Amino acid sequence: MIAERTPTTENTAGSVLSISLTEAGRHRAARLPYESVHGSLVDTVAARWHEVDAFVLFCAVGIAVRAIAPLLAGKSDDPSVVAVDDGGRFAVPIVGGHHGRSITANRLAGDVSALLSTTPVITTASDATGTLAFDDLPGFVAEGDVAKVTRANLDGETLSLRNDLGWPVPPAFDDARFEPAENARHTVESSGDGQARPSIVISDRRKPERRDPSVVLRPPSLVVGIGASSDSPAEAAASLLDRVLAEHDLAPSSVAGVATIDRRAGDPVVTTLGLPVRSFTGPQLATVDVPNPSEVVLTEVGTASVAEAAALLAAGPGAELIVEKTKGTTATVAVARRAGPEGSVAVVGLGPGHPRHRTPEAVAAIRAADVIIGYRYYTDQCADLVGAHQVVVPSPIGSEVDRCEEAVERASHGQRVALVCSGDPGVFAMATLVYEVAPRFGSPAIEVVPGVTASLAAASLLGAPLAHDHALLSLSDLLTPWPLIERRLRAVADADMAVALYNPRSQRRTVQLERARDILGASRPATTPVGIVVNATRPNQQVIMTTIGELDPADVDMFSVVVVGSSTTTVIDGAMVTPRGYDSESEVSGGER
């Protein structure tokens, strides 16, 4: 049966177990978003070795090595292991630097270091030197002699690059040391000393033309179309597909997904393949010209083709049907080859500043991107996640439209783009603009990756000022006329809601916050609590508690969020709190919402 395509570079969030021995280690482990165990390190590692994807061990490297040595089986089988010293200074990957069940040790060390403010000690040569790592390229599965070719690359040797598919490759391959081999198919490429030149082959063929030492990079170029009867057993398509791929010299690791008619998308015959599934309606499939239409299928499901049409539709514009439908007893299989990768834009919220407030989804989206685009301050904010194979396109403030257009245009040409923003991309940020410009560039796939917005970060530092109904307002009149902003402020004042004010003041906009203070202050007591948070969760963070009557705009800048309480907001033990309305003296019916 064909296995699910799982590139080692697609760093999904797996199960991580942290184990500590000392109280200092226990304290640090508690700051990580992983399951933690205190004590019995050696026994716990042995007991959980086959259950979790990675370990973070708070102990000396020597202790960690002795604990894992008897358990090691191989790169493809072992979990990743990172050791953190008892002083909390270093995070050291021990095994699984570029491999792991779902998270690599080098990246785990980076994540742990960002969360604990330690230093990752990366000894993997490619990562340590910022050199292209062939087994760590998003969108590819690396096979062959990865170690030998990587070593040649680190030594500065010229490498032969064969890309018969013309598949887009990372810009790092544009270096002159990667010499195209398309004009030398029938000649032995030599390094000059009689030895075969190390080569990189990009191919979805099971046995591509190659000579050792070589690395074969498998792109996600193949899409399988499945047609099946309603009583088709779960294994029918799997066994047929294995045979088809072998007969046509196609690599299973290049199969990116399967496609079928909507009525079969959930059937075991399709889902058992363990691949992403795309489905289409009968009328959608009927629009595709195929070489082998069937009147029987047309009568039964309203389209003359399922397998061939679904494969071509899912493979996208310019796709080629390289295996026409092959019939089994109860299933049919066809294979289409994509013209290139599917481009996409992930609009990523980085949160308020500190890495511990980045979501795992945001981290994965940045690591999986070919290109990272954003305001320079924000691309710097995620620099620890960027690899040598990626392109970073920083831009100055004020070029928001240009950023979005470049992101969508690159995606329309097959690149995976991460457009990074602070906070949440859908709150006073870039997500809406991406959707607005996308139709001009063919509307590539767009994903919005949420983040912790500034008002929530500020509220957490102040206490619980937004616990009841509240509003978010931007005081910037660069895009919204000031009279409209005033109308909204009056509406919030009349509704007696707490409000978080974004973009409250800048060097040029100095009167807006004063007007907002006067409008809100006219309908609530001068003693109403106000919180000012500057640079929330960043190193120069400031938290100021005041009242609406004593609010001094000079304390506020563009890196601030101002939270103005409602008439019920109070201060309890130094925390700004807006009561939800619960009766604290009795049990609340219905529980927490």
Range of the domain at 150: 134-218
Residue ranges in 11-104 assigned as alpha helix (H): 23-29, 41-48, 61-68
> What confidence tier does 153 reach under pLDDT thresholds 50, 70, 90?
confident
Are 59 and 83 contained in the same domain?
yes
Q: Of 86-100, 121-135, 203-217, 434-448, which gets the smallest average pLDDT?
A: 121-135
Exposure class string for 528-537: b at 16+ Cβ within 10 A, else e: bbbbbbbbbb
Residue range 287-311: mean pLDDT, rounded:
93
> Is position 243 within any domain?
yes
Note the pLDDT of residue 586: 47
Q: Are residues 161 and 211 in the same domain?
A: yes
Same domain, 156 and 200: yes
Of the residues 425, 452, 479, the one at which a domain ends: 452
Q: What is the pLDDT of residue 363?
A: 92
Please list the residues that pair with 391 across neighbouring strands: 371
Q: Which of 107, 137, 120 shows the shortest CA–CA distance to 16?
A: 107
Q: For the residues 335-351, what does the mean pLDDT come to?
A: 94
CA distances to 170, 335, 372, 375, 589 from 379, in Å? 19, 39, 7, 6, 47
Query: Are 203 and 169 contained in the same domain?
Result: yes
Q: What is the CATH number of the domain that holds 362?
A: 3.40.1010.10
The mean pLDDT value for 358-387 works out to 92
- In a shared domain, residues 552 and 570: yes
- Whether residue 73 lies inside any domain: the answer is yes
Give the residue carrying structure tokens 């570079």: 9
State whether 97 and 183 are in the same domain.
no
Residue 98 maps to a domain: yes
pLDDT averaged over every residue in the chain: 89
pLDDT at position 589, please?
A: 45
> What CATH number has the domain bearing residue 86?
3.40.50.11220
Of the residues 89, 123, 157, which one is the last residue of a structural domain? 123
- The reply to whether 10 falls in a domain is no
Hey, is 346 helix, strand or coil?
strand
Domain's final residue, options 123, 154, 186: 123
Q: What is the mean pLDDT of residues 36-62?
A: 95
Q: Tell whether 468 is covered by a domain.
A: yes
Residues 283 and 377 in one domain: no
In this prediction, residues 193-219 reach a mean pLDDT of 85
Which residue carries 């899409």 as its tokens?
223
Mean pLDDT across 447-458: 96
Domain assignment of residue 493, yes or no: yes
Clarify whether residues 118 and 177 are in a common domain. Answer: no
What confidence category does residue 418 fall into, taking pLDDT thresholds of 50, 70 and 90?
very high
- Counting the structural domains of the chain, the total is 5
Same domain, 32 and 72: yes
Q: Are residues 117 and 138 in the same domain?
A: no
- Do 443 and 554 share a domain, yes or no? no
**Same domain (yes/no): 103, 152:** no
